[in-house]
Amino acid sequence: MLLYSIFTILVSCVQFLLVFLIFKNRSVLMTNMRIYLLNISVAQMITALAGFLTQCRMIPNQNTVGFICSGVCTHFDTSSICFGLHLLKDASSTSTLFAITHVFYFRYKVLSHQKITKFQQIRNFILVHSPAIFCAICQFTNPSDRSMILKETLKNHQKRSIEQSAIFGFSSLHSPFVRFSTFLFTFMLILNPIIAFIYRRKIRVLLNDYGEYNIARIRNAKSLISGLTWQTITPCICFIPLLSQFFLAQYFGVRNLALEHLSTFFVIVPTLIDPILSFYFIIPFRRAIKDVFKEKEMIRQDGTTNSL
């Protein structure tokens, strides 16, 4: 509980600072990108908050997968609240994956002088959030026989403490719905960085071929796409242990207690890393933070001089 509390406070601080910088900066680049960056920031804050409220432990088995929460949601009488927050956490984290790639697409369109209409913008936002909504619907409609989940979980984890009243999950991992949703999520996790790297390459080609861009604009654009690349890779790295745990337990019966307890934490880790990457790689944000520290240093030096 303490780990999640500290982490959520840190995420809230850096995300609110990021939102402040997004609105404070009046450059043309930030004005055009504002809606895209806010979309990512809001989705990540929802992910972090839902993770704090649930703090779910994933217990994968061969035929079922159980989730046991230890967060604030357990104070309510029904596990459906924890289940709903769990779906919200997964949906918002999935939306973030495509939202970051969406920024790659937007920057490519801007740098190649292609105008994005209002209709295209709305259409793109719908497409970005559609996979997350679809995955959430699939999870909601998956078989969820609590007695079967509890029976197999207790059978495979006899020596571990399991709160029977708080468990929920999916009771048939071999059903068509579960197989399809698992395949879709894995496919999206692989496809997303591929799309990002395709647009990264397109942007670099534009920057190298167009002689109209000055050195400062090229430097800013390259720094931005470097940050976006790291932001695209980070969730994939965090999800790899969880998917490995899921498949190893299902097909080989191999389980890892540490990964079970850290399953939610791995999902919310990018919500802290991403804004820090934005502070460093988005040059207007980096300059704004540097200016704050320089101003504080000047005030401190002036105070020291006056005291002397």
Average pLDDT rounded to a whole number, residues 56-80: 84
Give the per-residue pLDDT at 134.
83
For the stretch 20-59, pLDDT in tens is 988 888 777 777 788 899 999 999 999 999 999 999 888 8
- Domain range for 109 is 2-299
Tell me the C-alpha distance between 184 and 131, whole Å.
9
Torsion of CA 198, 107, 95, 184, to 10 degrees: -20
Euclidean distance between CA atoms 279 and 271, whole angstroms = 13
Q: Smallest Cα–Cα separation from 111: which of 217, 21, 38? A: 217
Distance of CA 242 to the CA centre of its chain: 14
What's the confidence (pLDDT) of residue 287? 81
Structure-model confidence comparison of residues 278 and 185, the more confident one: 278
Tell me how many domains the chain contains.
1
- Residue 215 in domain: yes
Residue 308 lies in a domain: no
Looking up residue 127, the CATH number of its domain turns out to be 1.20.1070.10
Instruction: Kindly report the pTM of this predicted structure.
Output: 0.88
190 inside domain: yes
pLDDT digits (tens, 9 = 90+) for 144-188: 778 888 888 887 776 556 665 567 888 788 878 778 878 888 888
Whether 104 is in a domain gets the answer: yes
H or E segment to which residue 188 belongs:
helix 176-209
In a domain, 289, yes or no: yes
- Using DSSP, state whether 162 is helix, strand or coil: coil
State residue 11's pLDDT score: 95
Mean of the pLDDT values across residues 234-258? 86
Determine, yes or no, domain membership for 80.
yes
Going by pLDDT thresholds of 50, 70 and 90, the confidence category of residue 267 is very high
Residue 306 lies in a domain: no
Q: Does pLDDT of 7 surpass 90?
A: yes
What are the residues whose beta carbons fall under 8 Å from the beta carbon of 64, sequence distance 6 or more? 148, 149, 152, 153, 169, 170, 171, 172, 173
Task: Return the percentage of the chain with pLDDT > 70, whole number.
Answer: 89
What is d(CA 296, CA 281) in angstroms, rounded to the nearest whole number? 23
Domain annotation covers residue 136: yes
Give pLDDT, residue 260: 85
